[in-house]
Amino acid sequence: MVAHKAIHFYLLTPLLLQILKIHAKVPAIIVFGDSSVDAGNNNQISTILKSNFQPYGRDFNGGQPTGRFSNGRIPTDFISEAMGIKPIIPAYLDPTYDIKDFATGVCFASAGTGYDNATSDVLSVIPLWKELEYYKEYQNELRDYLGNDKANEVLSEALYLISIGTNDFLENYYVIPGRSSEFSIEEYQNFLVGIAGDFITALYQLGARKVSIGGLPPMGCLPLERTMNILYGSGCIEEYNDVAKNFNKKLQGLVAKLKMELGVQLVLSNVYDILSEMIQKPNSFGFEDAATACCGTGLFEMGYLCDKLINPFTCSDASKYVFWDSFHPTEKSNAIIADHVLKTSLAQFLM
C-alpha cells in the first residue's frame, strides 16, 4: 500500500509541476532595453548595428541568426523558460510573430540604445521613449486579442525586465563630444537615473506592477574596452567599472524611493558581481578565456565585423569563452547570469 502510494506520488509530480506552471503568477515577460536583451528588433530598422547573420546564432536552435547579439540565447530567454512560459521571447518588430505569440512575452529592446535620447541617435536605433510607444501599441493589440479584463490582468501580473545603460557611457559619454562637455560624469549619471525613474513611473501608470531594472555590468572589462587599454597591458578600465558600481548604487536608491512612492514590486537585478566573478575566475565556471571574445580576433569585433564572410578567425567552441563578441557574453554566460538573477532579485516573482 505504501509502495503503491509512493509510485502514485512520483507519477503525479510532473503533472503537478505542469499545473503549477499553468497557474504561474507571471503570465508574460515584457522586455525593454539594449543589445543585452534585443531579440531582433534591429533587423527591422535602418542601422548598421545588426547581428542577423552567421556566426551570430550559431548555437541557437540549430543555427539561426535571429538578431540576438550572441551565439545562442540571451538572459531574458532563459528567464522566460525558467518561469515556465516559453524558451524564447520574440522581438516585437519581427513580422513572423504576432499578438498570439506576444501575449506571453514580447521584447521591445534595441541594440545600441540607452536611457539618453542622444545615445540612440549615435547608431540610429530605437530610443527608449519609442520602446514605450510600441508597448502602448501592444497594450491595445492585447486588449483586442484577449478582451479588456483578461488583457489588464496579464499586463498587471506580467514581469517587466529592463536592461539598458552601458551604451550611454561606452557609445556616447566617453566617445562622442557633447554630453561630456555638458555634464560631469556624476551629473550624467544623475541625468540617466532621472530618465530611469520617469520610465518606471510611466510603466507603472500604464499598469505594470512587477518590474526589474538591470544594473550595469563591469563595463570596463568588456573585451573592446580592454583593447582600448592595450598600451596599459589590456587590463580592465577601472574608471569605467567604478562608474558602473556608482551608477548601480544610484539605481538602488531609485528602486527604494519608487517602491515607497508607488508601491510597485520593483527590484534591481545586479549582474555586476556575477560577471566580475566569471571574468576573474573563468576556470571555476568552466571557461578558458575571459579577456578576449570568441568572434574574430576577439579584440574588437562585433556586428558586421564578426560576419563569417569576412572574418575567418572565430573560435570553434563558444562555451570556452565568457564573451561572444567584443561587447556581448556567450550563451553560456547568459545562462549563468539568468540563473543568478532568478535566484536573487527575481526569486520573489517565482512564488
Ligand X SMILES: *[C@@H]1O[C@H](CO)[C@@H](O)[C@H](O)[C@H]1NC(C)=O
Closest CB 33 distance from ligand X, rounded Å: 16
Can you tell me whether residue 315 is helix, strand or coil? Answer: coil
DSSP string, 114-147: -SSHHHHHHTT---HHHHHHHHHHHHHHHHHHH-
Residue 265 pairs with which residues in a beta bridge?
210
What track of x and - describes contact with ligand X for positions 128 through 147 (by CB under 6 A)? Answer: -x------------------
Q: Is 35 a catalytic residue?
A: yes
Q: How far apart are CA 253 and CA 248, in angstroms?
A: 9
Of 184 and 316, nearer to ligand X (C-beta) is 184
Closest CB 193 distance from ligand X, rounded Å: 12
Residue 266 pairs with which residues in a beta bridge?
211
Of 195 and 213, nearer to ligand X (C-beta) is 195
* Catalytic one of 59, 70, 325, 345: 325
Closest CB 130 distance from ligand X, rounded Å: 8
Q: Where are the beta strands (DSSP E) in the chain?
A: 29-33, 105-107, 159-163, 210-214, 265-269
Binding-site size, ligand X (CB under 6 A): 3
Taking CA 62 as the corner, what is the angle to CA 59 and CA 65, rounded to the nearest 5 degrees?
A: 65
Contacts of 222 (CB under 8 A, 6+ apart): 170, 323, 326, 327
Closest CB 117 distance from ligand X, rounded Å: 4
Question: Of all residues in this chain, which one has the CB nearest to ligand X in the complex?
Answer: 117
**Of the residues 13, 18, 61, 117, which one makes contact with ligand X according to CB under 6 A:** 117
Q: Is 328 a catalytic residue?
A: yes
Among residues 71, 42, 37, 43, which one has the least CA distance to residue 57? Answer: 71
What track of x and - describes contact with ligand X for positions 50 through 89 (by CB under 6 A)? Answer: ----------------------------------------
DSSP string, 236-272: --HHHHHHHHHHHHHHHHHHHHHHHHH--EEEEE--H
347: DSSP letter: G
Of 125 and 337, nearer to ligand X (C-beta) is 125
289: DSSP letter: B
Residue 267 pairs with which residues in a beta bridge?
212
* Catalytic one of 34, 80, 110, 328: 328
Q: How far apart are CA 306 and CA 318, in angstroms?
A: 13
Contacts of 337 (CB under 8 A, 6+ apart): 75, 271, 274, 275, 329
Of 18 and 117, nearer to ligand X (C-beta) is 117
Site residues for ligand X, 221-260, by CB under 6 A, read none
Closest CB 191 distance from ligand X, rounded Å: 8
One-letter identity of residue 29: I
Q: Is 325 a catalytic residue?
A: yes
Closest CB 160 distance from ligand X, rounded Å: 20
Of 195 and 200, nearer to ligand X (C-beta) is 195
**Of the residues 29, 85, 154, 195, which one makes contact with ligand X according to CB under 6 A:** 195
Q: Does 190 bind ligand X (CB under 6 A)?
A: no
Of 61 and 117, nearer to ligand X (C-beta) is 117
Residues that bind ligand X (CB under 6 A): 117, 129, 195
The residues assigned a catalytic role are 35, 325, 328
